[in-house]
Amino acid sequence: MPVVLAVWVARTGRAPRAEPEVPVASAQPEDLLRSPPAGARAKGTVQLFGPDELADYIDGGAPPYVDAGFVRLAAAELSTSAGHGFACDLYDMGTPANAESMARRERSASLASPAGWPEAAAGEGALFFPERRWYVKLTALDPEAGAFLETFGRALRGRLP
């Protein structure tokens, strides 16, 4: 093993990471929330909800999600490297068409798309977007976190399975 490590350092000029990133192909959403991208940190445990529990999480608002093909939700509170909190909700909608349908349903005229990302909708302290079978909702829990949501969302979207 020391020879392999020496070759790695010689070829890359750096030591291997102590905690490897979760590979995209094998990542589960809860793994991505436990080890979030873009310098974010998990603040607590990841909560998982199925169709029967979703109404408890979104205060009775589950029917549109369930009707649109909702499978499960992974939700967590995260923070920026500066400690500003935000919520990340990863809704598995089963298919890309279902995720896109949910995003269109919740999009309002007051939300704008970030530059180069027409499927996303951003507003005051919020960012929503479909990605593959996922419908992602990011919500700032304090005003300073709002500026980080787009950076985090762009990093997250490439890692969703």
- Cα angle vertex 72, ends 156, 144, to 5°? 40
C-alpha atoms less than 13 angstroms from C-alpha of 95 in its C-beta half-sphere? 5
- 10 Å Cβ neighbour count for 124? 9
- pLDDT tens for 80-116 read 999 999 999 999 999 999 999 999 999 988 899 999 9
> Whole-angstrom Cα distance, residue 159 to residue 161?
6
Dist CA 114 CA 62 (whole Å): 27
Tell me what pLDDT residue 84 has: 97
Predicted model pTM: 0.82
Q: 121, 127 in Cβ contact below 8 A?
A: yes
8, pLDDT greater than 70? no
pLDDT confidence band for 27 (50 / 70 / 90): low
The larger pLDDT score, comparing residue 8 to residue 33, is at: 33
Q: What does the pLDDT look like over 28-79, one tens digit per residue?
A: 889 989 999 999 999 999 999 999 999 999 998 999 999 999 999 999 999 9
**Confidence label for 10 from pLDDT (cuts 50, 70 and 90):** very low
**Cα→Cα distances 102→11, 32, 42, 61, Å:** 46, 22, 26, 13
**With 60 as the cut, is the pLDDT of residue 145 above it?**
yes
- Dihedral (C-alpha) 22, 27, 32, 33: value to the nearest 10 degrees? -140
Residue spans of the domains in the chain: they are 22-157
Closest CA relative to residue 22, chosen from 74, 70, 58: 74
Examine the pLDDT at 124 and tell me if it is beyond 80.
yes
pLDDT tier at 131, thresholds 50, 70, 90: very high
For 9-38, what is the mean pLDDT?
60
* Residues present in the chain in total: 161
